Amino acid sequence: MGALTPLVQAAPQQRVWLKAVSAYTIGGAVTSACVGFVLALTNPIGSLWTSPGVAAVVVALVVLASAREALKWPLPLPQLRRQTNHLWVKRFGPTVAALLWGADLGFTFTTWFTYAGGAIVIVLAFASSQPTVGMTLILCYWAGRALNVWFGPYLFTSRDTSHELCLINVQARRLQLMHAAALGALAAVIVYIVTAQ
């Protein structure tokens, strides 16, 4: 959502907007695919699906992330405390800036996480130890982020998005609890798959 407002404001014409959002999506997809591939490729400890020890650690991390969200624990996540550079649009124009924003966000862990799910996607990609699986996981995470930008203009009632973004902030705790429930369900699915083998 953070990249949505500058993209919409900087690209009022539909053609410019389409080029910018396409560049954003492509930039993020390229870096996401690379990150997922490299994470899984560099895993020296074994696969989530074949190593009970790795599976136990992954489940423990997912449960911890779920508890962090549900109980509002101030447990820090391994991340950089930064956001994408909003000045890129003034320096490079909407299309190149959008490509850079997408590429930056596509790295997944180089910007601020709102919820712990992003960190868990990274853990799953690494623990898969299969480059195509790691790449697919990070790309799917990226697709979720990119869809906000594609469909955001249809959800907002005007070019001034401050009211809608305020409504999202009002619902932040509910979204955080939904996130915690999804992480809990993920832990249950991993346990089921690993024990069923």
pLDDT exceeds cutoff 70 at 4: no
What is the percent of the chain with per-residue pLDDT over 70, rounded to a whole number? Answer: 90
Give 39's pLDDT tier (boundaries 50, 70, 90).
very high
Give 172's pLDDT tier (boundaries 50, 70, 90).
confident
Q: Which pLDDT value is given to residue 138? A: 95
What global pTM score does this model have? Answer: 0.84
Determine the Cα–Cα distance for residues 193 and 56; give it in Å rounded to an integer.
12
Q: pLDDT per residue over 100-140, tens digit each?
A: 999 999 988 888 888 888 899 999 999 999 999 999 999 99
Mean pLDDT of the chain: 85
Q: Which pLDDT value is given to residue 188? A: 93
pLDDT exceeds cutoff 80 at 9: no
Give 159's pLDDT tier (boundaries 50, 70, 90).
low
Q: pLDDT per residue over 51-63, tens digit each?
A: 889 999 999 999 9
pLDDT exceeds cutoff 80 at 12: no
Q: Which pLDDT value is given to residue 1? A: 44
The residues spanned by each domain of the chain are 4-196
